[in-house]
Amino acid sequence: MARKIIIDTDPGQDDAIAILLALASPEDLDVLAITAVAGNVPLPLTTVNSLKMVELAGRPEVPVYAGCDRPMVRPLITAEYVHGKTGLDGADLPEPVTPVGSGHAVDRIIELVAANPPGSVTLCPLGPLTNIGTALQRAPEIAGRLGEIVLMGGGFFEGGNTTATAEFNIYVDPQAADIVFRSGVPITVMSLDVTHRALMLPRHLDRLKAVGTPVAIAAHGLLTFYERYDIEKYGMEGGPLHDPCVIAHLLRPGLFDGRLINVTIEVESELTMGMTVADWWGMSARPRNARWMRRVDADGFFDLIVERLARL
């Protein structure tokens, strides 16, 4: 039976690949909804970009809902310097004709979790946690009904990619992240510590391009544009592919390895605002609230992406 998921996202090229990976795997994942949030680019663009992905995948029946257009407390920061002005620079995709779903994404998340059996819905946040934190704040009873939250965000051993200590998704809305990590919901974290091991090497991109389908060609264009920033920043052979790690973990958990630890979000110090304080060595008495991933079989990860995207 396919696992029921809600993808909360701010596309972003890597979000786009994660959405395609999920939509290409209907036997494994039942995508109940895609909920857009402001992050990599403002909400109007993340909503349109989500619609572009369901149409590119040939899955326009998957509903897309627009959510929060700003963080809970702090001003919105965006990342056009990484993703380009549209968020999906690198591929010439048509404007979507599929309408956005009616109602606010936060309300839809609450309704979908309440409408399905307890423990059956997994939330997959790929961007700032504003929609998820707001839903948990507005309807705290859904925490006990969720099966799991598998998210991309944070970093500890790798430091941050937006400040010295904070990863972008957590830094954009640390207050929402704090609510999520204190919620009691089982959490799996795909942080920079693992995503920086999932590098898009030239051989991976060449394989994707060789598939030759419209989806594969679009994905190749998106990733070729996207990786240029991280290659220049980090001096790596290829750029890290962050958000698809969330979906790949649901499809092939054996590709990843980590441990259950305590993770606390810094929400007071401007010096370390948004830091994910990962107690890897168990130095505190704080409860272990998140499974923090650190290792990935990168070749197996990209094998999965190429194989699944070739289906679309």
Active site residues: 242
The Cα–Cα gap between 203 and 205 comes to: 6
Written as six digits, the tokens of 142 are 């859904």
Whole-Å CA distances, 136 to 60, 182, 288: 28, 10, 20
Beta pairing class for 29-36 and 64-66: parallel
Closest CA to 245 of 59, 36, 22: 22
Beta pairing class for 3-9 and 29-36: parallel
CA atoms within 13 A of residue 112's CA, in its CB half-sphere: 26
What DSSP state is assigned to residue 187? E
